[in-house]
Structure 1
Amino acid sequence: MTVYNRERFLDQLAGQLGRDRRTSAERPAYSVQPQERVFQGADQDQLLEKLKEQCKIIHTNCLVTTADELGETLRHVWDEDHIQNIVSAGGPRLEAYGLSDVYGTMRQDGYHVHVWDEQEGRKNVTTAEKAGAGIVFSDVTLAESGTVTLFNDRWNGRSISLLPETFVAVIPKSTLVPRMTQAARIIHEQEKKGVPVSSCVSFITGPSNSADIEMNLIVGVHGPVKATYIVVDDM
């Protein structure tokens, strides 16, 4: 997209505000930072326990497994909910966790497993609409709220976590942080280092929820009805 008269517009706007135009801003130095004290000093095991507690509140099933047993854990989730059609995020983590082989075996057993492929374009979304479960990998996990953070990219389309009835997040234990404060810092530090960060970052907390009407909680209004977090001990 081409932007016309940008400099002139900004100069005129600053003039209307009665000040010189600013081209940078200084970060304020706060005297207190209470957000840093929440779970300060907690290790990964303590954060995991907090995540488990929060999952009970947000109607999310939380399982803990190892990388070697991840495939069997996924199969258990699918079999328990009688799921045959699955759409999964792709990318390097499939190989890192051995899921390419797992998916291959499950296809032979009659499951339909589609791995997100940017080359297939709209077909990915159509497949996600029909899938019983969507599998994603959490990039940063907020223990306090039970929130997974997804850097949506060419391997991880947004439809995976939005359209299937069941949302499954594979959570490396190493991604656990106390809360949004640390997640925002991680994203900021990556930007400072010049590491590309997705233009779309999704924060997902359990299944779809709404209490807009008379404060009655309804699950599954505009997204997945069920959610399962699978924490993988990668430490």
Structure 2
Amino acid sequence: MIQNREKFLEKIATSLNRPFSPTQKPVRNWQHKPEEKKLSHLSIDELMSAFVEQCGRLNNTNVVEVSSGDVKKAVDEAVKQHGGESVALWNDERFRALCLDELYENEWADEGLRVHVWDSNLSRTENFERTNDSNIGIVFAEYALAESGTVVLYSAEGQGKAVGLLPNAFIAIVKKSTLRPRITQAVKEMEREFVEAGKTLPAAVDFVSGPSNSADIEMDLVVGVHGPIYATYIVVSDQ
């Protein structure tokens, strides 16, 4: 727990000749707000085009746009393209709403694919081990950001963040209606959704921009050092 935080912040506020209020949101009346304006004039279809274009600049990142009726086929094809073998996914009602449970409970089992659904009844270690042994992780994104080719993930019970971090390939399903210009708009919506509504924030909020990339001092790029090597974003056009 942070100690003496309010005393520390009060000292800074005093030095800046500003009133100290730990509960009141500061007023920021800046003359120019480029962070709010960039890409904000685009329609949802134009944001989609910008998102696809930016993802094309990321390593090993593919975007597929489908209707809700074709999500099952798109997910199955993406799993096969990434080599199949084993899949980890969240325990999330959205899978059942899109009939994806038919895949992981029946079809993939018949095909010999190993499936791990994040289980809150198991220990953290066991969930991590089963996820780490999976070739592909499948999650749902809350938002997609056109500027950076980013998807936003919430961690919650049944939605372990390891599913998007440990497997070799990462598949995110995102509603087209949740496309936003950039991180500015997504954070503002999260503020309204949780802070202003008095709700508890997710255990973690992850901003994922394609596979893991790492470069040494000589700028030799290596993909997959700290996370997945491949990423597929399946955008549901009619949601």
Alignment of 1:171-182 (within 5 A): 171-182=174-185
Unaligned runs of 5+ in 1: none
Residue 102 in structure 1 maps to residue 103 in structure 2: yes
**8 Å CA contact retained: 1:207, 1:224:** yes
Instruction: Tell me the distance in 2 between the aligned counterparts of 1:66 and 1:89.
Output: 21
| 1:187 corresponds to which of 190, 199, 204 | 190
- Note the C-alpha offset of 1:11: 8.1
Q: Which amino acid aligns with 2:189?
A: I
After superposition, give the CA deviation of every residue in 1:78-113 in whole Å (9 maximum; x if it has no partner). 222222110001222122211112212222222112
Match of residue 206 from structure 1: 210
Match of residue 83 from structure 1: 84
Identity value in percent: 33
Deviates more, 1:107-116 or 1:180-189: 107-116
Q: Which amino acid aligns with 1:65?
A: V
Q: TM (normalized to structure 1)?
A: 0.89
Match of residue 149 from structure 2: 146
After superposition, give the CA deviation of every residue in 1:113-153 in whole Å (9 maximum; x if it has no partner). 21112111222111111000000111111011000101111
Instruction: Tell me the distance in 2 between the aligned counterparts of 1:108 and 1:58.
Output: 34
**8 Å CA contact retained: 1:151, 1:197:** no
- Note the C-alpha offset of 1:13: 6.8
1:164–1:46 distance in 2 versus 1, CA, 3 Å: same
Q: TM (normalized to structure 2)?
A: 0.88
Q: SS at the partner of 2:50?
A: helix
**8 Å CA contact retained: 1:87, 1:134:** yes
- Note the C-alpha offset of 1:212: 3.3
| 1:169 corresponds to which of 164, 168, 172 | 172
1:28–1:13 distance in 2 versus 1, CA, 3 Å: closer
Instruction: Tell me the distance in 1 between the aligned counterparts of 2:142 and 2:130.
Output: 24
1:112–1:34 distance in 2 versus 1, CA, 3 Å: same
Q: SS at the partner of 1:114?
A: strand
Give the alignment's Cα RMSD to 1 decimal.
2.5
Alignment of 1:124-135 (within 5 A): 124-135=127-138
Match of residue 34 from structure 2: 34
After superposition, give the CA deviation of every residue in 1:51-72 in whole Å (9 maximum; x if it has no partner). 1111110120111112221121
Q: Which amino acid aligns with 2:87?
A: I
- Note the C-alpha offset of 1:196: 2.9
Instruction: Tell me the distance in 1 between the aligned counterparts of 2:144 and 2:47.
Output: 10
- Note the C-alpha offset of 1:14: 3.4
Deviates more, 1:46-55 or 1:95-104: 95-104
Instruction: Tell me the distance in 2 between the aligned counterparts of 1:162 and 1:91.
Output: 17
- Note the C-alpha offset of 1:197: 2.2
